[in-house]
């Protein structure tokens, strides 16, 4: 259990930021203050978009870096000046927010989810901005677990659209992600959230989220991904990720490749950030355990001048999640230092309630189907190790599809570590998807395990279900697009089953 160590005097927040919210503060007053601070673009008499679908049509006409092959992306598209001018036209709502900024190659979503849930449990209203989405793009913008409404999204997107027309042509046209980020900042400011947990989209230094001055900046695991855009060495990638560090702002990461840690230390020193490494500068421990209540799981401990956490159960499976949980606790410790009231018992309760769709998600019990968006070698390695340590099964059928620009050979080697049979396929709407036949050919060069291909996920799932025995496991992975399509497909299946049962009742 957690023990209170000492209560440090809360550090005063920056002058530009509001003081920590008190429980007596009313929502209406908070909302009025935030709106007064941000001075948003005024709404016209008629909305810019007639409806939500019209808004989506305009949005999807923007350049979507996530769906574009890296070789087709002009590096000049990444420019913070455009984002700064766009937000200025909207009244700079991000300046009224108290933010946590989370970057890294893998684990960003898990860290954001854990931080958000702990803050919510402590009584704060929390906005969370993450990417990508699985089914509905509104999943990216949430307040206390609820996605932004169709009405609010349409209204704010209309104002963002109007603001884009005020930009100088020399700045270029805002991208899909820049527009979504702007919508999130406006929504969070207008709803006067007490804290906003912001996940970096790509890289860090030139990411559109990097216009905020956060309460704390954290970088998780650094690995090989997006090399065409971020650099061909871990040092170069780490330097881009550490681009979110700011002067006098706590900047934290955890133990990993020495060159990565030292590169981020150098960047922190150059900008004047307060840099610490969990496991080096911050005391941290982890261990694997199994008991009747929780089954096999990880436990972590972390201590600082303000808190001592001992033997805290990690809510998500896998050793990698233990490190993510440790970084989460370090983030919360820094927020306490910055004036947030976060009782340790509430933090533990918050962790217990963490659930992340698309990350080791048991989406079906009969047959057992796990969904996970692992899409690069380190994430796939962690997934295979986690399944082996936490899930009992006879054999595992992996349904796999990924983007063609990934490190395919290394990714497939990691798949082979756990899969007994692989069915290669591709997501329906992913223009970057690799050809299943090419994946099968490469897989045969890596190992001699059974594999086959299908043209669609629906066909792949049908084949897997017919082949799976009662104690077997089906894992769908390789791409968040594939996982999102699977979630939608399985939800529709369940709805049909329920409707049929209701008709017979």
Tokens 């065409």 belong to which residue?
228
Structure-block tokens of residue 42:
């005024």
Residue 311: in which H helix or E strand, if any? strand 307-313
CA 1 from chain centre, in angstroms, equals: 28
CA 75 to the chain's CA centroid: 23
pLDDT value of residue 495: 87
Give the global pTM.
Answer: 0.88
Give SS3 for 129: strand
- Domain locations in the chain as residue ranges: 3-7+37-352, 361-504
pLDDT score for 180: 98
Confidence (pLDDT) at 70: 66
Residue with the two structure tokens 């390789």 = 478
Spell out, as residue ranges, where the chain has pLDDT lower than 70.
1-46, 70-71, 226-228
**What is the model's pLDDT at position 405?**
85
Upper half-sphere CA count for residue 159 (Cβ side, 13 Å): 24
pLDDT at 126: 98
What homologous superfamily is domain 361-504 in, according to CATH? Mur ligase, C-terminal domain (3.90.190.20)
pLDDT at 227: 65
In whole angstroms, give the CA distance from residue 29 to residue 19.
14
336-342-348 Cα angle (round to 5): 125
Alpha carbons 345 and 118: distance in angstroms, whole number:
10
CATH match for 3-7+37-352 among 3.40.1190.10, 3.20.20.70, 3.50.50.60, 3.30.450.40: 3.40.1190.10
Cα gap 109→324, rounded to integer Å = 10
Q: Measured between alpha carbons, how far is 5 from 2 in angstroms, rounded to an integer?
A: 9
pLDDT at 35: 35
CA–CA distance, 22 with 19 (Å, rounded to integer): 9
Among residues 143, 179, 149, the alpha carbon closest in space to that of 163 is found at 179
pLDDT of residue 503: 86
Tell me if residue 7 falls in helix, strand or coil. Answer: coil
Name the nearest CA neighbour of 212 among 239, 184, 191, 192: 184
Query: Smallest Cα–Cα separation from 301: which of 216, 290, 289?
Result: 289
* Bond before 411 cis per omega within 30 degrees: no
What beta strand segments (E) does 317-375 contain? 361-365, 368-372
Indicate the SS3 state at residue 5: coil
Please give the backbone phi and psi of residue 23, each rounded to the nearest 5 degrees, phi first: -70, -20
357-389 b/e (C-beta count within 10 Å ≥ 16 → b): bbbbbebbeebbbbbbbbbbbbbbbbbbbbbee
Query: Omega before 132 cis (within 30°)?
Result: yes
Are residues 152 and 52 in contact, defined by beta-carbon separation less than 8 angstroms?
no
Is it true that 3-7+37-352 and 361-504 share their CATH fold? Answer: no
Could you tell me if 223 and 249 are in contact, meaning their C-beta atoms sit under 8 angstroms apart? no
Exposure b/e, 20-31, CB count within 10 A at least 16 = b: bbeeeeeeeebe
Alpha-carbon dihedral angle through residues 253, 76, 227, 435, given to the nearest 10 degrees:
130
Say how far apart CA 182 and CA 80 lie, in whole Å: 13
Secondary structure (H, E, C), 390-456: HCCCCCEEEEECCECCCCHHHHHHHHHCCCCEEEECCCCCCCCECCHHHHHHHHHHHCCCEEEECCC
Q: Write down the H helix ranges in 191-286.
A: 227-230, 234-241, 258-271
């Amino acid at each position: 259990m957690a023990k209170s160590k000492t209560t440090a005097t809360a550090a005063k927040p920056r002058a530009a930021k509001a003081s920590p919210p008190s429980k007596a503060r009313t929502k209406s007053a908070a909302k009025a203050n935030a709106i007064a601070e941000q001075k948003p673009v005024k709404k016209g008499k008629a909305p810019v978009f007639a409806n939500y679908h019209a808004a989506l049509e305009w949005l999807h006409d923007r350049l979507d870096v996530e769906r574009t092959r890296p070789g087709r992306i002009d590096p000049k598209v990444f420019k913070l000046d455009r984002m700064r001018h766009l937000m200025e036209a909207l009244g700079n709502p991000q300046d009224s927010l108290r933010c946590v900024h989370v970057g890294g190659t893998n684990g960003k979503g898990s860290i954001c989810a854990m931080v958000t849930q702990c803050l919510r449990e402590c009584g704060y209203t929390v906005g969370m901005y993450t990417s990508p989405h699985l089914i509905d793009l509104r999943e990216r913008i949430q307040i206390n677990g609820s996605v932004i409404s169709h009405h609010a999204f349409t209204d704010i997107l209309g104002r963002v659209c109007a603001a884009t027309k005020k930009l100088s042509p020399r700045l270029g046209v805002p991208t899909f992600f820049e527009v979504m980020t702007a919508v999130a900042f406006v929504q969070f400011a207008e709803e006067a959230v007490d804290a906003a947990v912001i996940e970096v989209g790509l890289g860090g230094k030139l990411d559109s989220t990097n216009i905020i001055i956060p309460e704390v900046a954290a970088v998780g695991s650094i690995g090989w991904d997006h090399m065409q855009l971020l650099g061909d060495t871990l040092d170069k990638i780490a330097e881009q990720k550490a681009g979110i560090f700011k002067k006098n702002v706590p900047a934290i990461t955890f133990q990993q490749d020495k060159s990565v840690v030292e590169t981020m230390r150098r960047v922190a020193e150059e900008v004047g950030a307060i840099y610490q490494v969990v496991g080096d500068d911050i005391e941290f421990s982890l261990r694997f355990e199994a008991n009747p209540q929780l089954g096999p799981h990880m436990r972590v401990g972390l201590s600082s001048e303000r808190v001592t956490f001992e033997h805290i159960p990690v809510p998500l499976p896998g050793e990698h999640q233990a490190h993510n949980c440790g970084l989460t606790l370090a983030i919360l410790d820094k927020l306490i230092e910055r004036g947030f009231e976060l009782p340790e018992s509430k933090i533990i309760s918050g962790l217990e309630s963490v659930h992340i769709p698309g990350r080791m998600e048991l989406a079906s019990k009969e047959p057992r189907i796990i969904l996970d968006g692992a899409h690069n070698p380190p994430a796939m390695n962690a997934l295979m190790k986690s399944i082996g340590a936490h899930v009992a099964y006879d054999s595992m059928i992996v349904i796999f599809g990924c983007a063609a620009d990934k490190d395919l050979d290394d990714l497939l080697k990691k798949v082979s570590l756990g899969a007994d049979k692989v069915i290669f396929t591709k997501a329906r709407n992913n223009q970057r998807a690799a050809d299943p036949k090419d994946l099968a050919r490469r897989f045969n060069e890596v190992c001699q395990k059974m594999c086959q291909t299908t043209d669609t996920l629906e066909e792949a799932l049908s084949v897997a279900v017919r082949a799976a025995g009662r104690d077997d496991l089906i894992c769908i992975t390789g791409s968040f697009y594939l996982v999102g399509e699977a979630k939608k497909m399985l939800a529709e299946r369940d709805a049909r089953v329920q409707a049929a049962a209701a008709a017979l009742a």
